[in-house]
Amino acid sequence: MYLSPASLKLRWFFALLLMLPLWGQAGEILPSWRDGPSRAAIIGFVEAVTEEGARGYVPPSERIAVFDNDGTLWSEQPLYFQILFAFAEVKRLAPQHPEWKTQLPFKAVLEDDQQALATSGMRGLMQIVTATHTGIDTEAFSENARRWLATAVHPRSHKPFTEMVFQPMLELLAFLRDNGFKTYIVSGGEVAFMRVFAEEVYGIPPEQVIGTTFATRFQDKDGQLSIQRLAELKHNDDGPGKPESIEAIIGKRPILAFGNSDGDLQMLQWTAAGSGKRFMGLVRHTDAKREWAYDRQSQVGRLDKALDAATANGWTIVDMASEWRRIYPFEATTTE
């Protein structure tokens, strides 16, 4: 079919009109965030500390940003994902431990007895984590975690756990790095578990992942070198343990910190106590339809004292339901 030059120009014109919204979205800052107080506060803070010559300017070497992981960068319901990994490891390793069939808390895991697990409490969970996370070398543990993450799916979404990450926070991490920030994870999760996926999922390399650690020992067995993971908790990276590890490993006070629970309170306080411009943020889980709604009464990711502190001090509280257009990467972006 012959098209005149005028018709061709008209077609190109309409094609450009159709492309304009896509170009606008591609260049938009934090596209999964709705226009609102949190997005404005983030952009305003970054502009203030990166504008050379401005009063609040912070040199790139001091632009340290720290993020909790569970509940801040990815979901944490119905249980912390690392606990679900530990339960799966108990079932996988059970043939090697016949005594677990009658020994709590392992018996409760094998029988999916939620009541008995709840009764075992934190002590029981630590027994399970210690049994599945130690007594092997670091490479073997990382391979176990990598294998589980490659095959396991979330019980509600049926998506891989590494897809249960928050799209708005992925955009925030990228936005900060584009503006000269160095981003760290500072989490109560076990450090070796998080390092398996953090670089691929978040763009955060292993040396910038800080977490709970078990003691280790270098071993030379007939020329076979390894780092053995010992059944001894070396550092609990939760609550006051977070600023302690920031000081020990980073050696600089962050100027931006993001969390979602009371376990992040001291990290936020430590960040706020520094001089100059500071940003403290909380992700508040308010979306029962797309994710979960919980805070003060939750047994997982309880947000109570930190919520009071954020309100009293004017920290940024991100309302997930009203301020995020999309929660997970696999979701469509809402337009309302």
Q: What is the pLDDT along the chain (336 residues), one digit of tens a residue?
A: 444 544 444 444 334 333 333 334 446 899 999 999 999 999 999 999 999 999 999 999 999 999 999 999 999 999 999 999 999 999 999 999 999 999 999 999 999 999 999 999 999 999 999 999 999 999 999 999 999 999 999 999 999 999 999 999 999 999 999 999 999 999 999 999 999 999 999 999 999 999 999 999 999 999 999 999 999 999 999 999 999 999 999 999 999 999 999 999 999 999 999 999 999 999 999 999 999 999 999 999 999 999 999 999 999 999 999 999 999 999 987 655
Write down the domain spans for the chain. Answer: 31-77+160-323
Q: Is the pTM of this model over 0.85?
A: yes
CATH number of 31-77+160-323: 3.40.50.1000
How far is it, in rounded angstroms, from Cα 260 to Cα 301? 7
- End-to-end Cα, the chain, rounded Å: 42
The secondary structure of 250-298 as a DSSP string is I-S--SEEEE-SGGGHHHHHHHHTSSS--EEEEEE-B-TTTS-B--TT-
Lay out the sheet containing 224-235: strands in order across: 224-235, 209-221, 182-190, 64-67, 256-259, 279-284, 316-319
